[in-house]
Amino acid sequence: MPNARLTSTYWTGFRHGAPFLLVIAPFGILFGVVGTEAGLNLAEVMGFSILVIAGAAQFTAVQLMADNAPTFVVLATSLAVNLRMAMYSASITPHLGAAPRWQRAIMAYFLVDQSYAVAHARYEAHPEMSLAERVVYFFGVITPVCPMWYLMTLAGALAGQEIPPEYAIDFAVPITFLALVAPALRTLAHVAAAAVSVTLALLLAFLPYSSGVLIAGAAAMVVGAWVEKRTGART
């Protein structure tokens, strides 16, 4: 009964993706609120969540757009935030690379932090999974995650204009970004990269259009990689 087996694999994936609702729901609402407060209309806010589907990069773009940064800086900085996904793509390819091209394209669209982390761990722990099972599992994981991202963004965008300034919603983005960064500070290399990033961003804040962020980010990546090589520490 291969179909029954695939169905159960799908639901296993679904169960493993479900806990992320706790992160996705508030983050999605927040993007809807922040986007609306920054001056985007409903269609534009939803355009971001559906076409880009990458929380941190979406917040980055909206933040820089609100600062009236030039389009080039908005795109370069936001895409830099997403560069980590090239690493996801590379590391999941041995497990999914044999799937048909159209399936790989759909999975690439849904290759977000959560689906990558859960699916990659599962494939490593269960090398006996067939290709069909891996694909079905991947779709199981994203089923509770990605549609909820769209829905919660919509909820936030609809609520957005009604949130008064004394709720200090301006600081939701820094808190969310710091909450993403802090658990990632696993090694000396990560800490060094973050320290260089903060220092240069503050020193270069005088540069126009937030372009100091790009320089700080690039320098911090180099420093992180350099420290990793020196210390031999990984992940």
Partner 1 sequence: MTQGALEIWGIILALGVGTFLIRYSFLGLIGERKLPDWVLRHLRYTPVAVLPALVAPLVVWPEATGGSFDLPRVAAAAATLGAGYLSRNVLVAIAAGAGTLYGLLFLIG
Residues in 38-97 that interact with partner 1 by CB under 8 A: 38-40, 44, 47-48, 51-54, 56-57, 60-61, 63, 65-66, 68, 71, 74-75, 77-90, 92-94, 96-97
Q: Which of residues 203-222 bind partner 1 (CB under 8 A)?
A: 205, 212-213, 216-222
Q: Which of residues 160-179 bind partner 1 (CB under 8 A)?
A: 165-166, 168, 170-179
Q: Judged by CB, which is closer to partner 1: 12, or 211?
A: 211
Q: Judged by CB, which is closer to partner 1: 33, or 61?
A: 61
d(CA 210, CA 169): 21
Longest dimension (CA), the chain: 65
Query: What is the CA 80 to chain-centroid distance, rounded?
Result: 11
- For partner 1, which residue of 7, 15, 108, 124 counts as binding (CB under 8 A)? 108
121 binds partner 1 (CB under 8 A): no
Backbone φ/ψ region at 41: left (φ over 0), alpha (ψ -120 to 50), beta: beta
Q: What does DSSP assign to residue 51?
A: I
* Cβ contact 143:14 at 8 Å: yes
Nearest to 173 by CA among 74, 62, 40, 43: 62
Shortest separation between residue 182's beta carbon and partner 1, angstroms: 3
Shortest separation between residue 9's beta carbon and partner 1, angstroms: 20
